[in-house]
Structure 1
Amino acid sequence: MRLFLKKLIDKTAIDCRTIGSFFGVNGKKLQRQYKKHLSSFNTWAPPEHAHEWIIYPENLGTHLSIDEVALSQDELFTIVTNKEAKGKKGYLVVIVAGTKADQVIEHICKIDYKKKVVS
């Protein structure tokens, strides 16, 4: 059951609370268990620059979207996503702290040219 729930949470855009309600499990508890035990959240070692930018070139696709997100009043981020992933695994392409175009372009240009060319 544990692996089934992990796969279901990883592969769908449905939140843990909703999935928990399908199976008669406390959704908040399922969310906590997923974060602490099932996902790789605790073992992920972020790169030093992760507070400024993160790039996942393997998620690049032909249809991208860009949006600004405010995590708090002082924290603005620009996020580039792959629309083909539809919010699932492989959705996130770039996150950049701030909303200035030159900063975003600078980090997008770090993606290898061969990965940017889509046939």
Structure 2
Amino acid sequence: MKSTGDHDERIANMTFASVYPHYVAKVEKKGRTVEELQQVISWLTGFKANDVQRLIKNEATFEQFFAAATLNPNASLITGSICGYRIEEIETPLTKQVRYLDKLVDELAKGRKMEKILRSP
């Protein structure tokens, strides 16, 4: 997917703190827990719960969030559509990483088993 520079810039400058409460609400509404959400975030980024809280407190942008992350080597196994885009076709690395996270949160909320969400080769 060839996204516009405007779209990519908007994602890069969006704060993780502004999106995190939506992630929490989405998973809790479907009967999942914040601990499970943290497990998913940790798997993708390497962040522990206290790291996530620090990034929220510091109002880190997604650009800063993923710059500080250690992306899981199996992240490229995350495929499918999210927000109308096929993840594997997204060309901008940061936009792809944000969509990875969106997809994992979506799968958690949809009740997918944690073993499937946390992809193993």
Q: Pick the TM interval, shorter chain.
A: under 0.3
Structure with bigger helix share is 2
Q: Relative contact order (alpha carbons < 8 A, sep ≥ 6): 1 or 2 greater?
A: 2
Larger Rg: 1
Superposition TM-score, scaled by structure 1 size:
0.26
Higher strand share: 1
- Structure 2-normalised TM-score? 0.25
